[in-house]
Amino acid sequence: MTDTHAADARQRRQLLKALACTPLMGMPSGMAVAGGNNAASAQGREPLGVAISACDDDTGQHFASCTSYQGVERWRQPIRQRSHGATRHPHKPWALIFSRRPGTEINVFDLDSGERIARIEAAPDRHFYGHGVFSPDGGLLYTTENAIAPGEGRIGIYDVNRDFARIGEFASGGIGPHEIRLHPDGQQLIIANGGILTRPDTGRVKLNLDSMQSNLTLLDRVSGEVRWQGEPSHHQLSLRHLDVSREGTIVAGYQYQGPAADHRPLVVMKHPGSDRLQELPLPREYVPQFKQYIASIAVSPDGRLAVATAPRGNLITLWNLATGELDTTLDFADCAGVLAVPATQQTPAGFVVSNGRGEWLLIDEEGLPALGPVRLANTHWDNHLALM
């Protein structure tokens, strides 16, 4: 008869040993850069002036696309499942595209040629939520996943040096883990647990709206221990997307599941020295236009500004993180993806925003249009962009 507890303990020890052997390499004083997708994560790397995003064409075929800020496509590769978020390996020219809920594959592409390097399949009784992040040295990949039978969130762990073999998982700290980022300390994972229960056999139907509870979780990436957790002011505020500055300021967006007329905050932040979530006030006159929905978040590297996209209201919104106030709004139809970008020889530092019509708009750090919008024909961008 097998001693289940002893077997579990052995497996956990082996996993902890593997994780502990993943050092913080190439970072002064053991510090890692933040995030993985935005300008805050590009420190020490020459900006290429390109981003990667999932998209569909006019017929509904799914693709991964690598495109410059000016709208010039470098390559486009077909993928089998509709995808959502993307990230770049910290040291190799690899771009990863994650299938969206309830997808079961991650595609790995060569950033220069567009050649497919690998396809990662979800484990049995698991599906992906569309996001993932690497350890600081690039040896491990962490992904947000659903344990389908119990309906619980998991963080899948994959060994990059063993052809992305799945070596274990942690509990995510909630239901429906969505976006995940690496904290600037290199030790913690930042997880937005959306709180909404879904199952593949019922599609995208939300099964627990009366009892749902979202949270923001800081998880030790070696031990799996929850270091900190904060909950929204109302249980039907679903934390979905987030970004983090180099100093560790976390900004996240809500998608409210209650009545459309309710006046709820939609952007929340956590300062490095604080143990609470600070919900930023949404002026009442904007409630009808926001339609209770934030799609994507990007924080400027210095932590001064955050952009939150509101596609149902056709608004790009800029938030002053020092005052906690809504600073500027720009009209941009069906805007969803947003990316904080460093300056290049051709473009200023700022934010690239994409929409479902195949357009990209570059705005500067004052929120003023700097380039575009430029449109890529036969293209409908998905919700996210990742810096390459």
Q: Which are the contacts of 49, defined by CB distance < 8 A and separation ≥ 6?
A: 68, 69, 70, 344, 346, 347
Closest CA to 22 of 227, 224, 222: 222
Determine the Cα–Cα distance for residues 282 and 118; give it in Å rounded to an integer. Answer: 43
Alpha-carbon span 360 to 337, nearest angstrom? 9
- For 217, how many CA atoms within 13 A lie in the half-sphere containing its CB? 30
> CA–CA distance from 299 to each of 164, 188, 308, 321, 383 (Å)?
30, 18, 9, 9, 16
The structure tokens listed for 309 are 């996209």
- CATH homologous superfamily of 25-387 equals YVTN repeat-like/Quinoprotein amine dehydrogenase (2.130.10.10)
The structure tokens listed for 276 are 């609470």
| Closest CA relative to residue 266, chosen from 214, 330, 196 | 214
Give phi and psi for 296, each to the nearest 5: -140, 155
Per-residue pLDDT of the chain (388 residues; tens, 9 = 90+): 333 333 443 444 444 444 444 433 333 333 444 555 665 555 555 556 789 999 999 999 999 999 988 888 999 999 999 999 999 999 999 999 999 989 999 999 999 999 999 999 999 999 999 999 999 999 999 999 999 999 999 999 999 999 999 999 999 999 999 999 999 999 999 999 999 999 888 888 898 999 999 999 999 999 999 999 999 999 999 999 999 999 999 999 999 999 999 999 999 999 998 999 999 999 999 999 999 999 999 999 888 999 999 999 999 999 999 999 999 999 999 999 999 988 877 788 899 999 999 999 999 988 889 988 999 999 999 988 887 7
Return the residue matching tokens 């604080």. Answer: 274
Q: Which residues of 31-69 are buried (b: 16+ CB within 10 A; e: fewer)?
A: ebbbbbbbbbbbeeeebbbbbbbbbbbeeeebbbbbbbb
The whole-model pTM stands at 0.90
- Cα–Cα dist 268/280, whole Å: 6
> Could you tell me the residue ranges of all domains in the chain?
25-387
Q: What is the pLDDT of residue 50?
A: 85
Secondary structure element (H or E) that encloses residue 156, with its range: strand 152-159
Residue 212 burial class via C-beta count within 10 angstroms: exposed 0-12, middle 13-18, buried 19 and up: buried
Strands 380-381 and 50-56: antiparallel
Q: What's at 343, amino acid-wise?
A: A
